[in-house]
Structure 1
């Protein structure tokens, strides 16, 4: 008669095989696992910040300084240190221009929030897509910061939102931060580095006859990349370009105005991004 292998012996070998297989999978996808773990934790940082700041902002809901006073403060003294992101700022004197003005900034990923909260001037509100209004604690904090939400799928409502935004800006003397690319561009590689600009920010500036202040965030590729599954410590350079006046301009001038500002921002982007400088040399 053949020897009967004890059931606990078979179970032990099965567990060992499963452990070996699991270890191989983890080793193969280690980079991806670490990247998404750090990225999910990063997103949760803003959920926590949203929860904490919402409590404080409830004392003056919708106040136009809530974003910089509370959300900005908590971000500046937490996330960049947790993730080891160093910030260098150039041209901050250009933000001392008289309010109100429109800020246009390039948009790479959600990691833009770190640089944005470092440079954003007081009494600034944001325009964002309507879906973010329902993004849990983050959405609640955005509402309490007086953010303006736009439903891009409904042109009529978007147009009305623009008119209402102009009234708020001129009446309350607040700045408006916008990402004219409309979408994050890190997943869409382009030789000219930025997506085409949507005209909303420039239409608002021209109709309100207020200046546009371009802000450029350097390439995040050295420390954050979906493509390479990389999220490490690194340096984010930020350059504030001189204000661009809009007095005397009309909506007919918007296409040329937006294209010139986009060109200036791309030149700045290449200039302040060390990885692009090394690639071109």
Structure 2
């Protein structure tokens, strides 16, 4: 019976999902070309708010908690575990006051309404995993951008999704570049739980009645610490929260 419900509700949500992407693609283009960058960013926040809260159609429960107050006078580097595409949707909405810009694979910058457009226009780091030099240059550019604007960067050190919820190895390279190029940034771990249960076998069917959680953990001051220490502290904090 649960599977039948999943198929029906998934169909309803995915129609909603697709229509939301198309409508907000037009809104983004208008905001970007006729208004300001800040207006465009707000349109992206609302896009993700609609995508996230649309999960109520699946009976999904959403939980957000901040165990620290995020600074407004310095950039932030968010380090999060990665389970699903819904990780990003939640982070953009819940952390919207910090304007998180993501380190993303370059393939996502084409072919997806709203999402690809935002990645190209927002300042996100679009990396080619087959070209290490290009990836370094892109992440360094993002680091410089958040240092200048006091926005934030978000990175998933696992690189690829862990659909089981078990943490993979956290790579240090991308975090190290961001910390170097944004020396005034505060590092903040974000623990994401159960998003992988939403789509364990792909986009369809989605699993209904799940409880998804985003928890902002106490910050890590990077000064005086090696990148290995920073990443290990973040991983340990995330592991403790999701266990």
Distance 1:174 1:194 in 2: 27
- Name the CA shift for 1:199/1:57 in 2 (closer, same or farther; >3 Å): farther
For the pair 1:240 / 2:216, whether they are aligned, the reply is yes
Q: Contact (CA 8 Å) 1:80, 1:114: kept in 2 or not?
A: no
What is the aligned partner in structure 2 of residue 116 from structure 1? 91
Shift of 1:145: 2.4
Q: 1:139 offset after TM fit, Å?
A: 0.5
Larger Rg: 1
Aligned mate of 1:196, from 158, 169, 190: 169
**Superposition deviation, residue 230 in structure 1:** 4.9
Q: Does the aligned pair in 2 maintain the 1:54–1:144 contact within 8 Å?
A: no
Say whether the 8 Å CA contact 2:79–2:187 is kept in structure 1: yes
Post-superposition shift, 1:66?
3.5
C-alpha distance after superposition, 1:106-161 (max 9, x if no partner): 11112224422331233322221111111332211322223221112101111222
Specify the alignment match of 1:182 in structure 2: 159
Q: CA contact under 8 A between 1:213 and 1:241: conserved in structure 2?
A: yes
Structure 1 CA distance for aligned equivalents of residues 150 and 179 of structure 2: 16
Number of residue pairs matched? 235
Shift in alpha-carbon separation, 1:62–1:262, aligned structure 2, 3 A: farther
SS in 2 for 1:238: strand
Shift in alpha-carbon separation, 1:109–1:265, aligned structure 2, 3 A: same
In the superposition, the TM-score normalised over structure 2's length comes to: 0.80
- State the partner residue of 1:127: 103
Moved more, 85-94 or 143-152: 85-94
Q: Deviations over 1:219-258 (max 9, x none)?
A: 2366554399552133222211111011133xxx222321
- Return the alpha-carbon distance in structure 2 between the equivalents of residues 149 and 62 of structure 1: 22
Map of 1:104 onto structure 2: 79
In the alignment, is the contact (CA less than 8 A) between 1:224 and 1:232 conserved in 2? no
1:265 aligns with 2:238: yes
Gaps in structure 2 of 5+ consecutive residues: none
Greater relative contact order structure (CA < 8 Å, 6+ sep): 2
Q: CA RMSD in A?
A: 3.2
Which of 110, 114, 117 is the equivalent residue of 1:140?
A: 117
1:58 aligned counterpart, secondary structure: helix
- Partners of 2:89 and 2:144 in 1: how far apart? 29
* 1:86 equivalent in structure 2: 61
